């Protein structure tokens, strides 16, 4: 087996994975910002992410409740 640093495909895959992680982090930041903005408009605190709480989903459910 060759050194992963010498494998062109390995380097490309590592770079692609880095891009995916960066994009995921960017999307998470945008969703956090959106959730905070929704909470400000609705005067609600959707809480922090945990195994028992998903503030993004909570914000979406709150918006859907306004549609009904």
3-state SS assignment for residue 5: coil
Per-residue pLDDT reduced to its tens digit, 10-63: 889 999 999 999 999 999 999 999 999 999 999 999 999 999 999 999 999 999
pTM: 0.77
| DSSP-assigned letter for residue 6 | T
Contact status, residue 45 vs residue 39, Cβ threshold 8 Å:
yes
List 53's β-bridge partners, or say none: 50
Rg (CA), the chain: 19
């Amino acid at each position: 087996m060759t050194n992963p640093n010498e494998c062109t495909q390995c380097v490309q895959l590592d770079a692609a994975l880095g891009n995916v992680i960066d994009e995921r982090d960017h999307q998470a930041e945008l969703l956090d910002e959106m959730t905070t903005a929704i909470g400000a408009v609705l005067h609600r605190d959707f809480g922090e992410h945990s195994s028992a709480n998903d503030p993004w989903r909570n914000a979406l459910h709150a918006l859907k409740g306004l549609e009904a």
